[in-house]
């Protein structure tokens, strides 16, 4: 048997890799913290019983990020980088992008990053329903997934990579095709405890599996449901102190979910 074999041509491998070049890891820094999810677990159960829809953990994290962006708008920014013109762009609306692995045979590299528009205006039930459409590529998300596949499969790879980079040069295209300042991703459903990633968005929020772990509470060891929350951010847009305040505010919003995220709170 031969030592190796050459797989058929893979357009997603040829094209999507071009987006990874945008990561510019030398501009990124990561923070992480273990989050007490006790209130989230109770809130999910209560909303599921009352409304018939149990919010996903992705919905809880995404809504927490949206509310924090509304509270701390200095994080809701992107860079505009032309060869001789560089500016920071303030984004006035909150559109959060959520990454979904397509995990289809032959295109294991494929990721659909769908944007939830005006995320801060959606409650947890509405957000969970929207995320389900995104995960199944339904509605507008299905249209955008089809558009991406047409570009990847129907345009020569060098040109396709160039087309996918255009949003970085024109803010209106960024908002239309990439969303806003934040992308949320999670490998938790695959049983992964933590992911430290570097995404082509100014801020990347990742979280791991929620499960019982020992933590210290008031000087005593207790077993509670926790998860690891990770944030990577573009240090050209935020220094360590404001980034830490933003990250801590997200964590606090999640840990105090019964007050901050409850549908009845009207937030």
Q: Pick the residue with more confidence: 225 or 146?
A: 225
Give the pLDDT mean for 191-198: 85
**Per-residue pLDDT at 149:** 85
Q: What does the pLDDT look like over 243-266, one tens digit per residue?
A: 999 999 999 999 999 999 997 644
Task: Give the Cα separation of 260 and 263 in Å (integer).
Answer: 9
Q: What does the pLDDT look like over 62-111, one tens digit per residue?
A: 999 999 999 999 999 999 888 888 899 999 999 999 988 766 666 666 67
**Per-residue pLDDT at 72:** 98
**Per-residue pLDDT at 242:** 97
**Per-residue pLDDT at 50:** 94
Phi and psi angles of residue 226, each rounded to the nearest 5 degrees, phi first:
-135, 165
**Per-residue pLDDT at 31:** 95
Which of the residue ranges 41-50, 62-71, 165-174 would you say has the lowest mean pLDDT?
165-174
Say whether pLDDT at 130 is over 90. yes
Say whether pLDDT at 26 is over 80. no
Cβ density class 115-125: b for 16+ within 10 Å, e for less:
bbeebbebbbb
In this structure, what token pair is assigned to residue 154?
């129907």
**Per-residue pLDDT at 195:** 85
Q: Pick the residue with more confidence: 200 or 209?
A: 209
Classify strands 182-185 and 203-207 as parallel, antiparallel or unpaired: parallel
Say whether pLDDT at 169 is over 50. yes
Q: Helix, strand, coil % (nearest 5) of the chain?
A: 45, 25, 30
Q: Pick the residue with more confidence: 127 or 16?
A: 127
**Per-residue pLDDT at 95:** 97
pTM: 0.91
**Per-residue pLDDT at 254:** 98
**Per-residue pLDDT at 111:** 75
CATH code reported for the domain at 11-262? 3.30.559.10
Label residue 12 by pLDDT band (50, 70, 90). Answer: confident
Residues 6+ apart with CB under 8 A from 157: 11, 14, 15
**Per-residue pLDDT at 267:** 41
């Amino acid at each position: 048997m031969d030592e190796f074999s050459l797989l058929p041509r893979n357009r997603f491998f040829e094209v999507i890799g071009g987006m990874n070049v945008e990561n510019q890891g030398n501009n990124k820094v990561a923070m992480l913290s273990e989050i007490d999810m006790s209130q989230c677990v109770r809130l999910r159960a209560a909303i599921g019983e009352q409304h018939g829809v149990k919010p996903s953990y992705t919905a809880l994290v995404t809504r927490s990020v949206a509310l924090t962006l509304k509270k701390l708008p200095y994080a809701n920014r992107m860079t505009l980088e032309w060869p001789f013109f560089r500016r920071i762009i303030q984004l006035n609306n909150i559109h959060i992008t959520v990454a979904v692995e397509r995990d289809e045979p032959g295109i294991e590299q494929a990721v659909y990053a769908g944007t939830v528009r005006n995320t801060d205006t959606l409650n947890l039930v509405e957000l969970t329903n929207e995320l389900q459409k995104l995960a199944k590529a339904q509605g507008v998300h299905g249209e955008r997934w089809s558009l991406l596949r047409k570009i990847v499969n129907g345009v020569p790879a060098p040109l396709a990579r160039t087309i996918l980079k255009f949003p970085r040069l024109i803010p209106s295209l960024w908002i239309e095709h990439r969303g806003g300042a934040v992308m949320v991703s999670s490998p938790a459903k695959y049983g992964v405890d933590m992911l430290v990633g570097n995404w082509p968005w100014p801020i990347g929020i990742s979280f791991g599996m929620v499960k019982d772990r020992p933590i210290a509470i008031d000087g005593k060891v207790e077993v509670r449901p926790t998860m690891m929350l990770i944030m990577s951010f573009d240090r050209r847009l935020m220094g360590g102190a404001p980034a830490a305040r933003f990250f801590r505010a997200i964590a606090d919003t999640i840990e105090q979910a019964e007050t901050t995220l409850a549908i009845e709170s009207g937030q």
